[in-house]
Amino acid sequence: MIEVGNVLVHEDLINNDFVCNLSKCKGICCIEGDSGAPLLESEKGILEEIYPKVKPYMTEKGIEAIEEQGKYVIDVDGDLTTTCVDGNKECAYVTWENGITKCAIEKAYELGEIHWRKPVSCHLYPIRTTHYPEFDVLHYDRWHICKDACSFGKELQVPVFKFLKDPLIRTYGEEWYKNLERAAEELS
């Protein structure tokens, strides 16, 4: 682990390569798993506020799930997550474009309907964050469904942390990211 400000960063984020390859995986991370995407407490209000502008881009099944369960849920582990369709199937906020899973929230963002891109945990994936009162820990969540992203990242020689530059800056700021880059250079 390396320490960058009040964040502990697992070296796997520097030593492993990753670039999403939607043409291969089809966005399966939005429809696989045992619960929805982790949410911050502060994101509950955002989901409430933006839902009317996101709803037109959602599937009927997603809309039904939201109307039945709410815009977010507490999963079986007691964690705050996005709502899922049919129990633990796809995220309710999923939309489909040419057979590829996309995010209805992100689509509304890209079209200028809203000013929030998507939940931070989705934007940061495959980084997962463990929050403690005094610091955060960032680690690389290896999932077999991302093997094409790993090989594509290796081909392009893009470490996980560089692929996720924008969401890391969104979360921790530009100066923090520059410090992470310096720490990564020292580690090399």
Q: Residues 68-75: contacts with CB within 8 Å, 24+ apart?
A: 71/44, 71/47, 72/36, 72/39, 72/43, 72/44, 72/47, 73/36, 75/34, 75/35, 75/36
Look at residue 93 in the predicted model and tell me its pLDDT: 97
DSSP-derived secondary structure for 72-103: EEE-TTS-EEE-BSTTTSSBTTEEEETTEEEE
Look at residue 86 in the predicted model and tell me its pLDDT: 82
* Radius of gyration from C-alpha coordinates of the chain: 17
Residues of the chain with pLDDT under 50: none
Q: Which two tokens stand for residue 124?
A: 């940061």
> Given the DSSP bridges, would you call strands 136-140 and 7-9 parallel, antiparallel or unpaired?
parallel
CA pair distance 21, 24, nearest whole angstrom: 6
**Sign of the CA dihedral with 104 first, then 91, 122, and 148 last:** negative
Crossing angle, helix 174-187 and helix 165-172, to 10 degrees? Answer: 120
Cα–Cα distances in Å, from 74 out to 84, 126, 130, 134, 175?
11, 22, 17, 24, 34
Q: What's the whole-model pTM score? A: 0.89
Q: Which of 118, 127, 130 is nearest to 79 (CA)?
A: 130
Query: Whats the size of the chain, residue-wise?
Result: 188
Cα–Cα distances in Å, from 57 out to 37, 118, 137?
18, 14, 34
pLDDT digits (tens, 9 = 90+) for 49-80: 999 999 999 999 999 999 999 999 998 889 99
